[in-house]
């Protein structure tokens, strides 16, 4: 009889197990919903973290997915990047069954985010296909991770005196639009050496070699206050071989062909005519 009793207990447990799993999932989702509702209860996204107190530190880093093209005529360059910002908002601290809240872009509009803009940018595009390309996460200690996928077209001042044996440094400058350094301070999240990543396969250019990048942070004074400006310098060196093949060698060959006509007998009018017209047709 003992084995019959155990068998009945097993069947009873097996029958209840499938029903308990959905209940546990429902309780888990309800807990997460309560956490989100509690975080936003009384939250004012018009005020920065620590408003009226110490400045807010925004840590940044950049991952370049595609660099180029670079235009000598317009003196600008274009690149696709993942632009990451991290800061702490004590108002968003929470306790719960998970350590990180992984949320979509709908949450971004409900909390405060830095008003970062690119100072030397001509055009910047935030990708929205198929949905806004934004990553948003909240840690239990109130740390926020906010990532955007952007296409940036920025100015690149060039001195073409040494063309085609020249090199250029193209800057990307960004900072806060409205908050002075007494309220927002930008820093490099991974330090000056590793905060900007450019994979080799992402920097294949027709006319240039991207030989490296450096970063800096400086203060800018204006009529409205003193601001922190973060700058990334992309160092470019022109490919000499490209212009040798495309420009110099064809020009040299054209001059040589033009001189050949002087070595042809003056009575050979058709041949002299052909070699005389050839340089003009080549140009």
Q: What DSSP string describes 196-221?
A: EE--GGG-B-SSEEEEEEEEEEEEEE
Residue-level pLDDT at 264: 67
**pTM metric for this prediction:** 0.79
CA distance 169 to 19: 64
The secondary element (H helix, E strand) that includes residue 81 is strand 76-88
CA distance 157 to 109: 36
Distances (CA, A) of 61 to 55, 83, 135, 178: 19, 6, 14, 21
From the list 64, 54, 120, 118, the residue with the least C-alpha distance to 87 is 54
How confident is the prediction along the chain (283 residues), in pLDDT tens digits per residue? 555 554 544 445 444 545 444 555 554 556 778 888 888 899 999 999 999 899 999 999 999 999 999 999 999 999 999 999 999 999 999 887 888 999 888 889 999 999 999 999 999 999 998 889 999 999 999 999 999 999 999 999 999 888 888 899 999 999 999 999 999 999 999 999 999 999 988 888 888 999 999 999 999 999 999 999 999 999 999 988 877 777 778 778 777 776 766 676 666 667 666 666 666 565 5
CA distance 27 to 22: 9
Torsion angle of alpha carbons 121, 178, 198, 57, nearest 10°? Answer: 170
Residues 6+ apart with CB under 8 A from 80: 64, 65, 66, 149, 150, 151, 152
CA distance 266 to 220: 72
From the list 178, 173, 171, 175, the residue with the least C-alpha distance to 236 is 171
Q: Residue 207: exposed, middle, or buried by beta-carbon count in 10 A (0-12, 13-18, 19+)? A: middle
Residue-level pLDDT at 249: 81
Residue-level pLDDT at 245: 79
Residues 6+ apart with CB under 8 A from 72: 158, 160, 207
The secondary element (H helix, E strand) that includes residue 106 is none
Residue-level pLDDT at 278: 61
First to last CA, the chain: 105
Residue-level pLDDT at 279: 60
Residue-level pLDDT at 163: 84
């Amino acid at each position: 009889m003992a084995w019959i009793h155990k068998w009945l207990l097993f069947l009873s447990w097996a029958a209840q197990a499938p029903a308990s799993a959905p209940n546990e999932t429902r309780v888990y989702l309800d807990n997460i919903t309560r956490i989100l509702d509690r975080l936003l209860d009384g939250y004012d996204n018009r005020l920065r973290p620590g408003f009226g107190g110490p400045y807010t530190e925004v840590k940044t880093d950049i991952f370049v997915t595609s660099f180029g093209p670079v235009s000598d005529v317009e003196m600008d360059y274009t690149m696709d990047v993942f632009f990451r910002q991290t800061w702490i908002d004590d108002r968003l601290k929470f306790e719960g069954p998970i350590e990180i809240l992984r949320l979509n872009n709908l949450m971004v509009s409900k909390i405060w985010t830095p008003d970062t803009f690119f100072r030397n940018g001509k055009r910047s595009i935030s990708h929205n296909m198929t949905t806004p390309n934004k990553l948003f996460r909240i840690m239990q200690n109130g740390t926020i991770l906010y990532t955007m996928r952007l296409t940036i077209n920025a100015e690149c001042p060039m001195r073409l005196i040494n063309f085609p044996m020249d090199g250029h440094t193209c800057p990307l400058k960004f900072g806060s639009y409205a908050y002075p350094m007494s309220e927002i301070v930008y820093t490099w999240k991974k330090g000056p050496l590793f905060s900007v990543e450019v994979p080799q396969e992402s920097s294949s250019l027709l006319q240039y070699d991207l030989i490296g990048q450096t970063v800096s942070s400086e203060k800018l004074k204006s009529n409205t206050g003193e601001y922190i400006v973060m700058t990334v310098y992309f160092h470019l060196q022109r490919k000499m071989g490209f212009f040798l093949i495309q420009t110099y060698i064809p020009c040299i060959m054209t001059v040589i062909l033009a001189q050949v006509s002087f070595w042809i007998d003056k009575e050979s009018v058709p041949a002299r005519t052909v070699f005389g017209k050839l340089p003009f047709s080549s140009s």
